Structure 1
Amino acid sequence: MSQPSTPAGFSPAVSLATDTVIHTDNAGLIEGDITIRRGAEEIPAYRAAPASGTQHPVILVVQEIFGVHEHIRDVARRLAKLGYLAIAPELYFRQGDPSKIASIDELREKIVSKVPDEQVLADLDATVTWAAANGGDVDRLGITGFCWGGRITWLYTAHQPRVKAAVAWYGKLVGPQSALQPRHPIDVAAQLKAPVLGLYGGQDAGIPLDTVEALRNALTAADSASRIHVYPEAPHAFYADYRPSFRKFEAEDGWLLLQGWFKEHGL
């Protein structure tokens, strides 16, 4: 991990823990905002990649509930430093701008509750198409996501056969089915197209351990190569260095597990 620095560009809906914020520089990278065409629409996104070479393996970075703010951009740069083309599309852009919303409850009500899973999966498909046309090797495609994006990571791995490996950080696993959210990770355990590494906190108040165990059992029943790792003392969002929930040991260990998982599966 890189060294801490002064925060900027974070969601106004969170309380910052400024003394632990990590900043990854852009030395040796090409990075910045892009747009991704999907039909008549243009999806805003952030991408980071090594400045030299081409045909880099591709990692989709799926935002937290707070959108593609500075933490997610930094994660993309961290991946780019490892040799990946990392792309984080703005998956709420039709519903609203999370950077304009100052509370998490308002964010859930005004934006997140209106985002259909089908739209998200199609936007990620469009992101893969963009990567293939812009120096990415989509035969080496991975995905990682955090919180809201952790759930999407499971769903996308069941949706997209080009995915080779995935890492889902503390994504919700169960829930009521609706028109916008017809399935949850527990429902797609037998349909995963690639192995998923799930990273969870034993003290996560929003993701009870019995739901984690239920998914583990479903994966075993499906003879899946996916795996779940639980950090017993970690809360939700333990990787989020800009929040009080950050746990340095678990975050660094999880990052090492992510790297090993992607390498093990050819990324």
Structure 2
Amino acid sequence: MSHEQHANPRQNVTFDSASESGHAHGYLRVPDSGSGPGVVVVQEWWGLTDHVAGIVDRLAAEGFVALAPDLYGGRTTHDSEEARRFLVELPPERAARDLAGAVTYLLQRPETTSSTVGAVGFCMGGAFVLTLAAQQGERIGAAVPWYGVPGPDTDFSGVRAAVLGHFGEEDASVPLDAVRATEQRLREQAGVDARFEVYPAPHAFYNDERPNYRRESAELAWGRTTAFLREHVR
């Protein structure tokens, strides 16, 4: 596949990555206070959209130094078939290298006060968050997947982060059986505190750009997320 970089106005930082180009791009926001704990935000399969940038902005307003890596090299879409193609064309190992580079970049930023970072991801990004936590071990203090889990053969033994998940009971794409099985495997393989909350909502209930948005569930899960990050990212 081509790794051509597309222009995306949301990109405002470049950081080292082990990907073929040697670098990756992303959207960073620092809180008005000038410093805070670091959090990586992992996009949905639509790309680094205004919605994802808005999550970064909202985390910065809550006092976090937040970074969303651009895993699609600037491409975004609102078409599900195109999003599926983007996802298929994204080698998981390259995504993992870019995300690992984002963790290193955040930890090295002078504004970052924490010795670990939090990882928050949505849909595709939720699955990547748990994979990242398994790969990065003690560098991830808190992992927060929203309505996304990796495959059943994922090895969670390297996870050292506390885990808080958010899932919709009406989500046809992420069955609750798979959610509970993932939660149990995290506890058994990693021995970490893993808690998956379930809401009366469909898939992608936090995305206010999509018809599945459910404000009450979204705001409840958001409040739980920020409290969790404050507790575990130090």
TM-score for the superposition, normalised by structure 2: 0.86
For the pair 1:193 / 2:160, whether they are aligned, the reply is: yes
Q: 1:36 to 1:148 in 2, by over 3 A?
A: same
Alignment of 1:108-257 (within 5 A): 108-109=84-85, 111-135=86-110, 136-161=112-137, 162-174=139-151, 187-222=154-189, 223-231=191-199, 233-257=200-224
**Paired residue secondary structure (2:156):** coil
Taking the aligned partners of 1:190 and 1:126, their CA distance within structure 2 comes to 21
**Paired residue secondary structure (1:98):** coil
Alignment of 1:47-62 (within 5 A): 47-54=28-35, 56-62=36-42
- Note the alpha carbon deviations across 1:76-132, whole angstroms, 9 max, x for none: 011001111100011121xxx533x552112312x2102122111211121123223
Instruction: Report the equivalent of 1:33.
Output: 12
For the pair 1:73 / 2:73, whether they are aligned, the reply is: no
**Paired residue secondary structure (2:205):** coil
Taking the aligned partners of 1:246 and 1:209, their CA distance within structure 2 comes to 19
* Stretch moving more, 236-245 or 221-230: 221-230
Instruction: Report the equivalent of 1:84.
Output: 64
Taking the aligned partners of 1:120 and 1:134, their CA distance within structure 2 comes to 21
Q: 1:64 to 1:37 in 2, by over 3 A?
A: same
Q: 2:81 aligns with which of 105, 126, 141?
A: 105
Pairwise CA distance, 1:266: 4.1
Counterpart AA for 2:87: V
Bigger radius of gyration: 1
- Contact 2:173–2:203 (Cα < 8 Å) also in 1: yes
TM-score for the superposition, normalised by structure 1: 0.76
% identical aligned pairs: 34
Gaps of 5+ in 2: 1-9
Q: 1:106 to 1:258 in 2, by over 3 A?
A: same
**Paired residue secondary structure (1:193):** coil
Instruction: Report the equivalent of 1:28.
Output: none
**Paired residue secondary structure (1:215):** helix
* Stretch moving more, 201-210 or 125-134: 125-134
**Paired residue secondary structure (2:16):** strand
- Contact 1:98–1:107 (Cα < 8 Å) also in 2: no
Taking the aligned partners of 1:194 and 1:132, their CA distance within structure 2 comes to 16
- Note the alpha carbon deviations across 1:34-81, whole angstroms, 9 max, x for none: 122336533121011123433x21000000000110000000011001
**Paired residue secondary structure (2:167):** strand
Q: 1:108 to 1:37 in 2, by over 3 A?
A: same
Consecutive aligned runs of 4 or more in structure 1 exceeding 4 Å deviation: none
Taking the aligned partners of 2:184 and 2:116, their CA distance within structure 1 comes to 28
Pairwise CA distance, 1:32: 6.4
Gaps of 5+ in 1: 1-30, 175-183
Counterpart AA for 1:142: G
